[in-house]
Chains A and B, each alone.
Chain A
Amino acid sequence: MELWFTEKHTPNVNFSIKVDRQLYCSKSEFQRIDIFESKEFGRFLTLDGYMMLTEKDEFIYHEMITHVPMCVNPDAKRVLVIGGGDGGTVRELLRYTTIESVDLVEIDALVVEACREYLPQTAGCLGDPRIHIYYEDGLKFIRHCENEYDLIIVDSTDPFGPGEGLFTREFYGNCYKALKETGIMVNQHESPFYQEDAYAMQRAHKRIVESFPISRVYQAHIPTYPSGHWLFGFASKKHHPVRGVDWARWNSLGLKTRYYNTQLHAGSFALPNYVEEMMRDVE
């Protein structure tokens, strides 16, 4: 018997992982949630059939979405994570003892429940007293915040499905409003490679540029995401993501990371020419 999970990266490209067994399956008000066990990638979570994370490569995504902004502003104390019900981003944040509180806004309580049961590698941290979980629409939550956070991490699904509202100008604008004057917003920024993802990436970039004075994009290599080439958005009111960053201060924290380091941080903002061009088109 062979059991395979297949995600269509485009209508003409399949990505498959051989599955050992299915651990979990349910349908929430918002989406279908599946967790599988595989030999190559360990356990992995999919939402509506789209890959969210695997135990093998999730460290890349979660380190890059967290340590980049934390290195730029190590003084961040109040952090908001939107999406990210798997807990991976929060796990990385909690490594900073200086962070006082993390608000996690996840629309789907069932995702958190499933991850807590089957993905302790990421969700194991969700019981920490510094975390407050809100099961709410991110767009609705952020509307009511003003000048509250040092850092907002938008750890969302793709812009089709429940995450749709998190790729909009009204969302980014409300994030701007919710941030303090030195605030930073980092978001999952899709991929530049395949056409559909690239459109979403450009649209998101355009909307962020319109909402923040500083807006840059950085990249990481994530094997299980379409094309493997993934982007993050760095938007900020004051801090530049590379210039003037106190690298030594981050290094002095002594955090052990598997993907992230300060040199890679600086380098990750250097983008391939075709990506630069796509950005310029909408700036």
Chain B
Amino acid sequence: MKFYSQDRVPVLEALQKFKTMRVVPFDVPGHKRGRGNPELTEFLGQKCLDVDVNSMKMLDNLCHPVSVIREAEQLAADAFGAAHAFFMVGGTTSAVQAMVLTACKRGDKIILPRNVHRSVINAMILCGAVPVYVNPQMDHSLGISLGMRLEEVRDAIRENPEAKAIFINNPTYYGICSNIEAIAALAHAHGMLLLADEAHGTHFYFSDRLPKAAMHVGADMSAVSMHKSGGSLTQSSLLLIGPQVHAGYVHQIINLTQTTSGSYLLMASLDISRRNLAIRGSETFDKVIDLVEYARQEINAIGDYYAYSQELINGDSIFDFDITKLSIFTRSIGLAGIEVYDILRDEYDIQTEFGDIANLLAYVSIGDRPKDIERLVSALMEIRRNYRKNQSGMLRAEYINPQVACGPQQAFYAPKCSLPLAETTGRVCSEFVMCYPPGIPILAPGELITEEILDYIRYAKKKGCSMTGPEDMDIKRLNVVEGKV
């Protein structure tokens, strides 16, 4: 293989060369460089439509990359310190699913914290793997779930020595990291793979001021959302693998579900973003860190709000904290995070990432400017002045230990019936219930429904969380498995 330096962008270069050749298209897409759809061209711009093209010899093929895509993937692997990298065009969801599908077959166990993204459990519905949940510890004052404690992972391994893999969030949505290095060592000592969901950790690879990146400490596979902190287009992502995982097999797994018409807009955006990260990632994230540190300091100076950071670190369930995350505890002004989220959007034209029942997450990245931070801080100050309430009657989030009655696949495909919410206590749920974002299930298929869970669902609905998952879009009914499981 040729050696390329990180300032090269093979996919972009191929597209640029392709444009100069003025090839006559008698292939798909049918818009033919936009000519067939002038309204779309007007909206997106000619430049965009010019490169919305299909796989062809000079542009390689995502399903079977042998030239420019392969080179771009190799550069990405080098930049992230992985043995191999795959360009993914179906979001990090597809990368997460490829990890689970690679590691597990029907009936295989996988050890994971309950606060995983729904894509992980979706993958288990597809392949029939069975979850072994490790209690992610809870910070009771903040109401957020944390990382996995090493001791609990060890216990789970002892009780389930046949498990195939351990799955870890690095970090969680809120920026919390487990001791991934030790957990990786533990996994390997017991012949298990370590799979990392780094949807919120792309930047870890490019700064020494941030928590450790999975592939740098021995993880076997990692799903990296380049489109979050990496700056690429929505839906583009990377799957990284280490030397112990067979790249050819992973490729087959990816091709089970990935499109055969990979978008060159997405791939070019991955290529360009990887170059930017490799060349100037470190200084970029220095700037992001400075912005967030400033915001945190200003927000904490307002009073009541708590924008937390590294002071939470406890050596175990909060082994490390991602200081680029601006998570703000809002219950102290008498408002749920989701209420602040709604006020910011409706009254202040500020869209934040999400609010849960006690916290707000403002996503700060590469593209933010100091004046935008001033707006956020000022708006939070105004919300405190105008909307502050008494805290009484606010629910404190508790970790609800899921009672897994059967695997997600079995529950999902089992004969089921629909019941009004109130009548579902004691039944086994056959679908997901979650707030989106963050997309972490409150209930997953195969879990027992309890009164405590229903209370939480009602409270989150009342506070205005956007609830998704069930067939019944209003979440007044739930599908449950018929009879006993």
Contacts and interface: CB of A to CB of B under 8 A. Distances in A.
Contacts of B386: 173
B348 interface: yes
B371 interface: yes
Interface in A150-186: 162, 164-165, 168-171, 173-174, 177
Nearest to B380: A170
B374 interface: yes
Given A170-B378, A210-B347, A165 B385 contact: no
Interface stretch (A112-120, A123-131, A135-143, A269-277): A135-143
A36 B260 CA distance: 58
Contact of B381 (A143, A162, A210): A143
B347 A165 contact: no
Interface in B338-360: 347-349
Interface in B372-420: 374-375, 377-379, 381-382, 385-386
A169 B374 contact: no
Nearest to B381: A143
Contact of A139 (B347, B375, B385): B375
A36 to B, nearest CB: 28
A142 B382 CA distance: 12
Interface residues of A, number: 16
Interface residues of B, number: 14
Nearest to A143: B378
Contacts of A164: 371
Contacts of A210: 347
Residue in A164, A165, A173, A210 with the greatest tally of chain B CB atoms within 10 Å: A173
Contact of A169 (B371, B377, B379): B379
A137 B381 CA distance: 16
B370 interface: yes
A168 B371 contact: no
Given A169-B348, A177-B385, A162 B371 contact: yes
Residue in A139, A170, A173 with the greatest tally of chain B CB atoms within 10 Å: A170
Contacts of B370: 137
A23 to B, nearest CB: 29
A189 to B, nearest CB: 18
A171 B385 contact: no
Nearest to B378: A170
Given A170-B348, A173-B386, A165 B371 contact: yes
A168 B385 contact: no
Contact of B379 (A162, A170, A177): A170
Interface of B: 347-349, 370-371, 374-375, 377-379, 381-382, 385-386
Interface of A: 137, 139-140, 142-143, 162, 164-165, 168-171, 173-174, 177, 210
Given A139-B374, A143-B381, A169-B347, 12 more contacts: A137-B374, A139-B378, A143-B377, A164-B371, A168-B379, A169-B348, A170-B375, A170-B379, A173-B386, A174-B378, A174-B381, A174-B382
CB-CB nearest 10 A-B residue pairs:
A170-B378, A170-B379, A173-B382, A139-B374, A140-B374, A170-B382, A139-B378, A169-B348, A165-B371, A143-B378
